[in-house]
Amino acid sequence: MTRRRPRALAISASRETDRSALKWVGLAGLVAGSILATVSLARAEGHEEVTVTHAFSNFGSLKYGPDFPHLNYVNPDAPKGGEISTWAQGNFDSFNNYTRKGVPGSGMALLFENVLVSTADDAYGTYCYLCTTMEFPESKDWVIFNLREDVTFADGTPATAEDAKFTFDLFMEQGLPEYVNVVKGFVSSVELLDTYRIKYNFAEKAPRREVIGFAGGIPVFSKAWFEESGARIDESTLEPFLGTGPYVLESFDVGRQIIYARNPNFWGADNPFNVGQNNFDRVRYEYFADSSAALEAFKAGEYTFRIENSSKDWATGYDFPGVANGSIVKAELPNGNIGTAQSFIFNLRRPEWQDPRTREAVRLMFNFEFSNESLFFGLYERVNSFWENSELEATGTPSAEEIAILQPLVNEGLLDASILSQEAVMAPTSGPRNFDRRNLRRAAGLLDEAGWITGDDGIRRKDGQVLDLVLLSFSPAFDRIINPYIENLKRLGIDAVLERVDISQYIDRRRTSDYDLVNHTFSMGFEPGFGLRQWYGSETAEDSSRNLMGLQNEAVDRLLEVVIAAETQEELTTATHALDRTLRAEAFWVQQWFKPEYWTAYYNMFKHPEDIPPFGLGQFSWWWHDADAEALLREQGAL
């Protein structure tokens, strides 16, 4: 099942790759002004009415009541069995994605669950999963989760409120500094009320729209297992933490393969959220050095499901007998999520990139139009917004409501006055040839203004310092895209180089900010809030897995507070427009591309419901295996 936890904060240091299709999409915290279903009201000690409910939503009606039989988009009669296998790039040496130490393996979300969950067809609803009900007063000063008494860890031991409190304390003690620093003061205390009741008391300044989603969005680990094993979440490990999820680790070969097996004693097999889900007996990941090798292995039947991330391969790489004879299905499936803002980002910690003129000159040299037509077969659309392809994307000139938010920042000199009248900044456009003379002239003028003068050797310098640029990458598939960009930067007089390293070096150098440009993926949610501080807040600039550019901007910090404080959907949309407009004006990125579909290829033994829900593909969750179809493929020699 794809369980999109309430996205109050991202607590993992999960590996980000160039494969945007592997993104995880969640929602922000979900409390103030909530729309409730099947609620009862009581009185708290302070005479506040207390809501008792199975679910809530800030915006819009809930999709599911307390007694729903199964999710609308699943096949409740889907058969169990079989194996689905896919690929991952690079290597791994750890099963802990909550630390920056080591390279975490793929698929670990199969092992863990949260108290609250979202569904793939409800953008704003959040539901009790490991709990039966939740209780909270109108002030949202606290929440009580009434946990299910039938939840067990993979070893059969019960999961209790004590385990939930232990996990919260563990993250606050050993979690990523960026996470701990941002959430300090979010929760003032956690109380154990009894074996299956836990209460989170929220700090006075914690944003009330998000507090319950935050408390319910933390996974639940086994206290007994941690105490017995001595494991830490800030250390790498090849023994996964004990969770309550539907799968367990069956086997692994470091850097080559991971196999997860469906737990036959999974506590939640008959839970309505799981009916028609978790259908495969095994989920297997095969590791390859690059996508070309992985595609050849797919053709040979070494794994069975592939989400394609290369336009070239999608356009030209599937002209082989398996697709022609129908043993492999090649399909574009709908993706209703916010477009992932994939980009190269500048390292703003370096003085040469703190000048917006220098950044804009570098941005002008990336020719998307050439790349899309010559390299991508015209299959991509350009990223312009951090909330691309959604109502949260800033468009045109600012509305009166946006101006009301932005004007004080202009008055204080934190933003240029042009932001009040100009259209939202779009990515630079170029001509059909990679070398665009018009953009070269504009870029050269900007560098001249910034003091970077071209020498007799064609290299630009300022105060004796060469303007050099290292673009860090690990994927050979990106070479054909990056190299024309490097050529254009050199024509401009920048001493630019592509440094392609292995995945371990790549991760280490990203963590230590050893790059000028590096690939980054901004995955925003439909209900942005407190977690934006990890992406854009000044307090995370020096040590963050998300604010990789090192952004420190007072105007942005102030706008983050406006977004976090928004209580209605209209307020949130307007505030996000203002933030998006401001972030784009900062131009700390070189936008790449996105596609509002999933490119999928799979052996014709997997089935899925006719209607794919808007916010998830669910290949490991609500798809299922057809044993007769697999037998036929094997008889034909396809597998």
Rg value, the chain, Cα: 25
- pLDDT score at 47: 66
- pLDDT score at 474: 92
- pLDDT score at 26: 29
CA 384 – CA 397 distance, rounded (Å): 15
Dihedral class, residue 82 (left if φ above 0, else alpha if ψ from -120 to 50, else beta): left
Domain ranges of the chain: 341-527+586-594
* Alpha-carbon distances, residue 153 vs 223, 263, 564, 612 (angstroms): 11, 10, 35, 31
Size of the chain in residues: 639
Residue 129, number of CB atoms within 10 A of its CB: 26
- pLDDT tens digits, one per residue of 329-346: 999 999 999 999 999 999
CA 361 – CA 492 distance, rounded (Å): 9
Which is nearest to 579 in space by CA: 565, 594, 558, 593? 558
* Alpha-carbon distances, residue 602 vs 279, 285, 307 (angstroms): 16, 14, 9
- pLDDT score at 7: 43
DSSP-derived secondary structure letter, 424: P
**219: helix, strand or coil:** strand
Q: 341-527+586-594: CATH homologous superfamily?
A: Dipeptide-binding Protein; Domain 3 (3.10.105.10)
Residue pair 118/28 in contact (Cβ under 8 Å)? The answer is no
CA 18 – CA 518 distance, rounded (Å): 10
Residue partners of 450: CB distance under 8 A and separation at least 6: 355, 357, 358, 361, 462
**570: helix, strand or coil:** helix
CA 43 – CA 47 distance, rounded (Å): 5
- pLDDT score at 10: 54
Residue 105, number of CB atoms within 10 A of its CB: 26
Single-letter code of the amino acid located at 356: P
Dihedral class, residue 614 (left if φ above 0, else alpha if ψ from -120 to 50, else beta): alpha
- pLDDT score at 590: 98
DSSP-derived secondary structure letter, 381: E
CA 224 – CA 166 distance, rounded (Å): 10
Which is nearest to 399 in space by CA: 571, 185, 560, 555? 571
- Residues 86, 117, 6: CA angle, nearest 5 degrees: 95
DSSP-derived secondary structure letter, 110: G
Partners of 497 in the β-ladder: 470
Please give the model's pTM, rounded to 2 decimal places. Answer: 0.88
Residue partners of 535: CB distance under 8 A and separation at least 6: 522, 546, 547
- Residues of the chain under the 50 pLDDT cut: 1-8, 14-39
**150: helix, strand or coil:** coil
- pLDDT tens digits, one per residue of 498-519: 999 998 899 899 989 999 999 9
- Residues 6, 564, 108: CA angle, nearest 5 degrees: 25
**How is residue 539 written in tokens?**
């307090």
- pLDDT score at 44: 55
Strands (E), 383-427: none
Query: Taken in order 229, 233, 239, 242, is the CA torsion positive or negative?
Result: positive
Residue pair 367/430 in contact (Cβ under 8 Å)? The answer is yes
**How is residue 108 written in tokens?**
């670990």
- Which stretches within 388-451 are classed as H helix? 400-411, 437-449
**448: helix, strand or coil:** helix
- pLDDT score at 503: 86
- pLDDT score at 111: 97
* Alpha-carbon distances, residue 359 vs 351, 528, 544 (angstroms): 11, 27, 21
- Residue 526 dihedral angles phi and psi, to the nearest 5°: -75, -20
CA 142 – CA 144 distance, rounded (Å): 7
Residue 156, number of CB atoms within 10 A of its CB: 9
